């Protein structure tokens, strides 16, 4: 997933969920965070003049879970090119089942065929000179 968490990559879809949380972190002491989410050392840094926590600041009590990862390490099978080929065939067949017109059906490029793959050349393609 990208930094803004707006685009899901196939890698994210194929990771396996853990049965138990793989990376569960508990606070060994009270932890304080300012408005920007940065960790600060003391509670004095997040309190206002009246002794109340400022808006946007938070603190996590000792012993509470402050981070847990729900995914385990990815399976090495997903790193192999054969898995990608299988996924392409599966999703192409799935999309082709939904198409009504034969001219709209998708096909998979044959790497071992006599033809070379082509790359679209357009104004937003800086790799082509």
What residues does each domain of the chain span? 1-16+74-112, 18-69
Task: For residues 50-61, give the mean pLDDT.
Answer: 88
Task: For residues 110-123, give the mean pLDDT.
Answer: 75
What tokens appear for 35 in the block? 């408005």
Give pTM, 2 decimals.
Answer: 0.38
pLDDT level of residue 94 (50, 70, 90 thresholds):
very high
Q: 103 in the Ramachandran plot: left (φ > 0), alpha (ψ -120 to 50) or beta?
A: alpha
What tokens appear for 24 in the block? 């569960």
**Vertex 81 angle, CA 5 and 87, to 5°:** 65
Over residues 2-53, the pLDDT tens digits come to: 556 555 555 555 554 444 445 778 888 899 999 998 999 888 888 888 888 8
Exposure string over 27-41, b if 16+ CB within 10 A, otherwise e: eeeebbbeeeeeeee
Q: 98 in the Ramachandran plot: left (φ > 0), alpha (ψ -120 to 50) or beta?
A: alpha
Average pLDDT, the chain: 78
């Amino acid at each position: 997933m990208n930094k803004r968490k707006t685009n899901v990559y196939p890698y994210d879809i194929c990771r396996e969920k853990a049965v138990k949380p793989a990376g569960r972190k508990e606070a060994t002491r009270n932890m304080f965070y300012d408005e920007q989410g940065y960790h600060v050392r003391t509670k004095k840094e997040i309190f206002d003049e009246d002794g109340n926590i400022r808006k946007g600041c938070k603190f996590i009590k000792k012993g509470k879970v402050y981070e847990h990862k729900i995914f385990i390490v990815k399976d090495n099978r997903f790193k192999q090119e054969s898995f990608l080929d299988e996924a392409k065939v599966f999703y192409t067949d799935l999309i082709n089942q939904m198409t009504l017109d034969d001219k709209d059906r998708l096909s998979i490029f044959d790497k071992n065929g006599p033809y070379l793959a082509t790359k679209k050349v357009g104004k937003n393609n800086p790799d082509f000179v």
